[in-house]
Amino acid sequence: MKNQSLYQLFKDSRLAQVATPLGKSLRGSGKIAPTHQILFAPKGSSSRSEYGLKTPLPKQVGVSHIVMNSMDNSNGIPDVEKFSSPHYNRLKFQESGIVLKKSHGNANPLFAWDTSKTVNNSSSVEDDSLLSQLNLGMNANLNNIKKVLKANPTLAKDFKLWLLKKSPESIVFKIPSKLEQLLKEFLSSPENVNKHRSSLNDLTRKFGKVSTRSSPRVVQGTGGLSYNQKGRLNNTPNGVKHGVIAPGRLVGDREATIGGFVASVNERTTILQNNFINNAPGKHARQFVLPFKVSEAELTPSGGVRMYADGVRVGSWIQRTESGPSYANRSNYVASNPNFGSLSERNSRDAEALENLLGLVSKNKS
């Protein structure tokens, strides 16, 4: 077989689409940044070994999403494990329709170009710093800076010669603000400075680094969580959608899990739900699925998601946890006002029934 034929076979195979893992641990806690590519291996794909695995996978593993470190080893057992949590968290976040909010001063990485308003109006300190001219982030440590300076041993000499041609009066007067601007202009030119080269390890986050030597530079992005645009109207069969209602579970007085993420919840909006859950006989708090209104989801500079939500006290949500005809004929959560205003604007009948059930308000009001 010629080399060109082997190259074409390898290029068209699924093995060529598998990225090199960034770490050895296949799964575990404490990893914010994904380190392995998640592969979908159904029964037919597993039997044909389309991903280059030398040993057939067990039935429980080979019909789902997997992650792997190697195709084979000395024992004939590939380092493969069933794991799909980040994949489904991303899908659940997309299905909710939540729009990720960017931090102020940073351009949207999906819709950023030279003439966009987000770039022209951006006054970020990071974009205007000396470290950004060297392809280093604001959280770069001293070792990274020394490494770049070591790659440019004649940096000071070259800057003086460049300054002598560009602005000789600055050498005499030595105005700090002007010298700083000239230094940024000198460092921005790739012909003058050997800058830090970005690698795949630069995608790792603060608490999910592959090694201690990986660069702390942050490459901001949405990670495929959401491609929705802020302010865009979403039409539904019932009209324009004004908010996002997502199911979740209370894990604390001020925390709830929504779509695989932990969200901060306004405690005042979940008082009735907490009282009912804590006093439910023979049931655990995690058994109750409650509706939440997601007010904001922000993408942090370290790559995490900071989410804020409020409890929704409309609709017959308690009937979803009870057995009987009411549970079989349950309806969706219905809000009288799509803008979700104050309690007086909502369905007062459902609110009164919930208060009477919890024993907070007397049934006979006089």
Does a structural domain hold residue 284?
A: yes
Residues 195, 241: one domain?
no
Does a structural domain hold residue 96?
A: no
**DSSP of 290-352:** EEEEEEEEEE-TTS-EEEEEEE---S--GGGGS-SHHHHT------S-TT---GGGS-HHHHH
State which of 57, 83, 109 marks the end of a domain.
83
Does a structural domain hold residue 156?
A: yes
What is the band of 255 on the pLDDT scale with cuts at 50, 70, 90?
Answer: very high
Smallest CA-to-CA distance from 215 within 228, 229, 199, 238 is with 199
Tally of structural domains, the chain = 3
With a cut of 90, say whether residue 294 has pLDDT above it.
Answer: yes
pLDDT, mean of residues 200-207: 50
Q: For tokens 């030279």, what's the residue?
A: 114
Does a structural domain hold residue 351?
A: yes
Task: With both helix axes pointing from N to C terminus, report the angle between 155-166 and 176-187 in degrees, rounded to the nearest 10.
Answer: 110
Residues 274, 344: one domain?
yes
DSSP 56: P
Does a structural domain hold residue 219?
A: no
Looking at the DSSP assignment, which residues form a beta bridge with residue 261? 258
What is the band of 342 on the pLDDT scale with cuts at 50, 70, 90?
Answer: very low
pLDDT of residue 258: 92
Residues 125, 195: one domain?
yes
What is the band of 292 on the pLDDT scale with cuts at 50, 70, 90?
Answer: very high
The whole domain housing 8 covers 3-83
Residues 291, 344: one domain?
yes
With a cut of 50, say whether residue 329 has pLDDT above it.
Answer: no
State which of 35, 58, 83 marks the end of a domain.
83
Smallest CA-to-CA distance from 104 within 18, 8, 230 is with 230
With a cut of 50, say whether residue 337 has pLDDT above it.
Answer: no
Q: For tokens 């859950």, what's the residue?
A: 277
Does a structural domain hold residue 364?
A: no
CA 274 to each of CA 45, 242, 335, 354: distance values in angstroms, whole numbers, following the listed order = 47, 26, 21, 12
Indicate the length of the chain as a whole number. 366
Does a structural domain hold residue 262?
A: yes
